[in-house]
Amino acid sequence: MNKPIHTLRGPMSLPTVHRPVGTARLRIRMPYAPDTRAWWHDQLGDLIRPAWNREMKCWEIARSHMREVVEALAERFGAVEVALDFRNSSRCDVRCRDAEGDDCDCQCLGENHGGAAYWRAWIQVGETTLVEPGIVQRILLVERRRR
């Protein structure tokens, strides 16, 4: 998934850490500095393998270093924006989707009633259950610890 890294405050006002679903690496955008690779090694140790992704214009580091990466960036820049992707599924029922009339007590709260959400990519699992896989992104601002 080569989705661009989201940032709340526009291009590069804060460093951004993105944890996408389905990849083993974090994507990190930060202001340019000629010593960035050495800085990563100072912060995370000599075994770290930061890689520059030319296509996406970001650093990539193993997901297992998430906490250390966020803390180091917050310490250096005062704050860091963290975008976390999570798997999420919507559920409905064929009886709701195919309904005629206004009566609906499905867990979709009527959003898909009578085929109203025709654009959704439902997958039927079982006799009547519909599932739409998706991804939800939560964005956090992590600030430097106060001393």
Dump pLDDT digits (tens) for 109-145. Answer: 677 767 776 667 778 888 888 788 888 899 999 998 8
pLDDT at residue 71 tops 70: yes
**What SS3 state is found at 134?**
strand
pTM (two decimals): 0.71
- Please tell me the predicted confidence (pLDDT) of residue 8: 46
Residue (of 54, 67, 55) closest to 26 by Cα position:
67
Rg of the chain, C-alpha, whole Å: 21
- Please tell me the predicted confidence (pLDDT) of residue 59: 95
pLDDT at residue 69 tops 60: yes
Whole-angstrom Cα distance, residue 40 to residue 68?
10
Residues 6 or more apart whose Cβ sits within 8 Å of residue 35: none
The span from the first CA to the last CA of the chain, in angstroms, equals 39
Mean pLDDT of all residues in the chain?
Answer: 83
pLDDT at residue 95 tops 50: yes
51 CA to centre of own chain: 20
Residues 6 or more apart whose Cβ sits within 8 Å of residue 6: 16, 18, 83, 137, 139
pLDDT at residue 34 tops 80: yes
pLDDT at residue 12 tops 70: no
What's the mean pLDDT in 92-102?
75
- Please tell me the predicted confidence (pLDDT) of residue 3: 46
Paired strand residues for 51: 60
